[in-house]
Structure 1
Amino acid sequence: MSDLPAGIYFALLPQEYIDDAYELEVQGYPADEAASLESLRYRQAHAPALFLGAFLAPSPQSKPVLLAFACGTLTSSSLVTHASMSSHDPSGTTVALHSLCVSPTHRRLGIGRALLEEYAKRAREGAMGGVQRIALLSRASLRELYKQVGFKEIGESEVQHGQEKWYDMVLDLNPAEEDVQAPAEAAAVPGGADLQSIPGAAVPASGGTEPDPPTMDGPTQAQVIAALLAERTRPPAPDSRTAATIPAGELTDARGRNVQRLRCLRPGCGSLILLEGVGELREGGEESLFDLDADRPAPHPLFPPITPSQKWWLVTPSPMAFENVAFSRAVPPAAGDSGGRARKYLGCAECELGPVGWCWEGATTEYWVSVDRVGYRT
């Protein structure tokens, strides 16, 4: 992978960054090619595992800044089609890459190419889940750029958008050994151009609101996500321990940070939620005293009820600090809530067990996870 400036990292794009992605989209594509805000929301909602961002965290206390993103949907076709631009087929085996955009202020730093390489790496590591290739459309002037990353030119595409011709490019995630081409053997790029200099270098977007995805037999969206993120999914048995079975001195280090990984409590799931050293143990405190079960008759059988002595893991500064977490829709403030702010519940992104924690709706840098509602494993 290309060398990157310090502080840049890759993570799936949370819903709250869609507006930022849209800004990059309109900066990177002509008005008649840029995806609509509704299109980006559709892709993030229906194919979140295919929506990857490059972020910069200026400091531990600040909200990370979105520098670039790549997004796509699944299709049953081996090439990008008009239909794939406006739908997501969960049973598809081809990732149709629709957008690759880099902030104008951060081009020519290697971010675009590194993002595409990371995107391909994640797809390749989940190939056993059914994803076999990444397909995109390229302008004639950009074909050699994609070849540097391993894409092959198939020919002129049947998909035409505007006056310009587009060309089908495909990256086979499981190529035959003799077909593998090392980066050094790829064709040279004329004029010293590189991927990170491209404002938007993938598929022309379709306008308008995206339709509902097709209903068909095949893998569910959760299964697709699990396959593409295999390195972050279910660990092997045994199941995680609960906080009640762990001596207090074995939960935190000298800084009060978690020394064991936080995982989903559901037997057979165990999805990794938080790495060691990320959460800070807190107890008491006005903001941590929130009843996760206030709007439900009783907690899930796996969960103890929230009490005034409840301990919490405080996670900062953004959702990217988590390895795997899901957020609920905004919950209006309860009657008599002096804070008067809506909140969101946190849960397991794989099996949807929850709530295990909460955060404020909107701009926030604090995420609270109940010590007793997650499992622990080193």
Structure 2
Amino acid sequence: MAPLPDNAALRALKGGHVNDASDDAAIDDTDDVVDDEFADLARTLSAKRREGKEKGRENRIQEIVPFPFAPNIRPLGISDLKSVIALENAAFPDPNHRATPEKFEYRLTMCPELSLGIFCTVVPSLAKGFDIETFATAHTVETDRADQAKSVLLAHIVATASNSKTVQDSDMAIPSDWRTSRTKDVHKGHVEGGNTICLHSLAVSPKLQGCGLGKLAMKSFMQQMKGLGTERVALICQDYLVSYYERFGFKHAGKSKAEFGGGGWHDMVFDLPTSLATSGPAQSSK
């Protein structure tokens, strides 16, 4: 296969012209042809770059872990609760910035479709002493599988829905009687049908941070939320993470009024295209 042209070659193609004596006597459609070829090549190069970045991320992770890395992305469920808690505790050294076990239990019970986990199948004999915080709480892939492989959580996102445009303290709270009450407290916690998704936790195993798992989780989560037809995704973060979330397309909406964990948060909002938003989602803020 011939090598793909570089950026200089693309520019040359875009600006090139066929020198032909018949040019003056005929309708010149050269520009249209060149534009089409340029667009096709640009798309091909863009796809190659994306593929290269994906492989680069996987290669970085594979250099760290002794077992094959093949990520499996899926919504979380209540059966993942122990792994979610273990990962949260490992990813957030400050206990004040973590969601409590009860909050995770509430969120994974009330709205598991607003969560996401990146898992990897790990065979214990191949782990070779590589200690992952969630290995002990991971479930076996198949109960009778000879190699006792486990599906291990490496990164997660957990969220709820709200009618507020930014994350409020009430969005991070949970009703005290949520396990027994038949009526829903619309002033605390998850609001079914809310048009704002409040992203409460983005956590990545500390041993795999900096390898692109956070980006993979966020990209997958945003696609998942677009499919639900929500209007926006909102979160709060400390000032040093504002630029991090801006790279994902979030807009800085100023200082947050939320006082969770001692305050000092900033509001970040990602407005989804109007054409994708409907009446609301189908049936590190915390």
Do they fold alike, i.e. is TM over 0.5? Answer: yes
* Aligned equivalents of 1:163, 1:38: Cα separation in 2: 20
Once the two structures are TM-superposed, the CA of residue 14 in structure 1 deviates from its matched residue by 2.5
Residue 88 (str. 1) matches residue 200 (str. 2) = no
Cα distance, 1:163 vs structure 2: 4.5
Q: How does 1:227-242 map to 2 (within 5 A)?
A: none
- Name structure 1 gaps, 5 residues minimum: 177-217, 226-378
Q: Which residue of structure 1 aligns with residue 249 of structure 2?
A: 150
Tell me the alpha carbon deviations over residues 171-191 of structure 1, each in whole angstroms, 9 at most, x when there is no partner: 111169xxxxxxxxxxxxxxx
Higher Cα Rg: structure 1 or 2? 2
- The alpha-carbon deviation at position 138 of structure 1 amounts to 1.2
**What CA RMSD, in Å, does the superposition of the two structures yield over aligned residues?**
2.1
CA distance in 2, matches of 1:7, 1:28: 21
Choose 103-112 or 53-62, whichever is displaced more.
53-62
Deviations 1:231-284 (Å, cap 9, x if unpaired)?
A: xxxxxxxxxxxxxxxxxxxxxxxxxxxxxxxxxxxxxxxxxxxxxxxxxxxxxx
Deviation of the 1:161 alpha carbon: 3.1
Which of these residues, 26, 30, 33, is aligned with residue 89 of structure 2? 26
SS in 1 for 2:199: strand
Helix, strand or coil at the partner of 2:96: coil
In structure 2, C-alpha distance between the alignment counterparts of 1:54 and 1:140, rounded to whole Å: 26
Q: Give the 5 Å matches for 1:248-287.
A: none
Distance 2:196 2:169 in 1: 14
Distance 2:244 2:202 in 1: 13
Matched residue type, 1:120: M
Pair 158,102 (structure 1): closer, same or farther in 2 beyond 3 Å: same
* TM-superposed deviation, 1:34: 1.2
What are the residue-to-residue correspondences of 1:1-378 with 2, within 5 Å?
A: 3=54, 4-5=57-58, 6-29=69-92, 30-58=94-122, 61=145, 62-86=149-173, 87-127=189-229, 131-163=230-262, 165-174=264-273, 224-225=282-283
Over 3 Å counting, the alpha-carbon distance change for 1:58 and 1:27 in structure 2 is closer
Q: For the residues of structure 2 that align with 1:167 and 1:35, how far apart are their CA atoms?
A: 18
CA distance in 1, matches of 2:251, 2:72: 27
Say whether the 8 Å CA contact 2:169–2:260 is kept in structure 1.
Answer: no
CA distance in 2, matches of 1:15, 1:126: 20
Structure 2, unpaired ranges of 5+: 1-49, 59-68, 124-140, 174-188
Q: With the length of structure 2 as denominator, give the TM-score of the two structures.
A: 0.58
Size of the aligned set, in residue pairs, is 178
3-state SS in 1 of match to 2:99: coil
How far residue 162 of structure 1 moved from its aligned partner, in angstroms, is: 4.0
Q: Partner residue of 1:294?
A: none
Asked if 1 retains the 8 angstrom alpha-carbon contact of 2:161 and 2:196, the reply is: yes
State the percentage of identical aligned residues.
Answer: 28
- Whole-angstrom distance in 2 between the partners of 1:15 and 1:164: 29
Secondary structure at the residue paired with 2:97?
A: coil
